[in-house]
Amino acid sequence: MDYAFEYVMDHGIQTEESYPYTAYDCQCRRKGYAVKIKSFVDLKDEKEVTAAVSSKGPVSAGIDGSTLSFYSHGIVDASSGCSNSEEDVNHAILIVGYGSEDGVDYWIAKNSWGVDWGEHGYFRIQRNVNACGIALYNSYPVV
C-alpha cells in the first residue's frame, strides 16, 4: 500500500467521476488531480486497525485473496484455505467496519469486484486472528 500512497502524495489522484474507467487501451490524460494526501499512517496490528477504523475511517489492507472468488456470504475464517503469510499477500481491499456474530469477531471489507460479488461488493473476514494475512499491511491516508 505504501507505494500507492506515495504516488498520491507526489502526483495526486482523480475521482472516478472525473476520470472514469474505460475498458480499452488509450493515452493517459494528465489534467491535474482531484486530491492529494499529506502523508499516510502504517498500522502494526489489528488493535491499531480497530482504533483507526472507528476514529479515522476506512483502512486499506493487503490480503491473500486467492480463495475470494468462491465467496458468496458469511464470515471468511482463518481456516478457509487462504494464507496468512506475507509472501502470499496479493490483493488490496478496504476495511470499512467491524462487528461480531455468534461470538466470532469480523471485519467488514469492501472488495473491488463490483456489487454482484459477495455481500453486495463487501465481505466479512474473521478479526483478531490475521485471517488471510489481513493484519500484515494496513494503512490510511492523512488528507
Query: pLDDT per residue over 31-40, tens digit each?
Result: 778 899 999 9
Backbone φ and ψ of 44, nearest 5°: -95, -20
pLDDT score of 68: 95
C-beta separation of 119 from 97 below 8 A: no
| CATH architecture of structural domain 38-142 | Alpha-Beta Complex (3.90)
pLDDT score of 19: 85
Backbone φ and ψ of 6, nearest 5°: -60, -40
pLDDT score of 21: 81
Q: Cβ atoms within 10 A of the Cβ of 61, count?
A: 25
Report which secondary-structure segment, H or E, holds 8: helix 2-11
| Cβ partners under 8 Å of residue 98, min gap 6 | 50, 53, 105, 106, 107, 108, 127
C-beta separation of 12 from 32 below 8 A: yes
C-beta separation of 124 from 109 below 8 A: yes
pLDDT score of 105: 98
- Low-confidence stretches of the chain (pLDDT < 70) are none
pLDDT score of 16: 85
pLDDT score of 33: 85
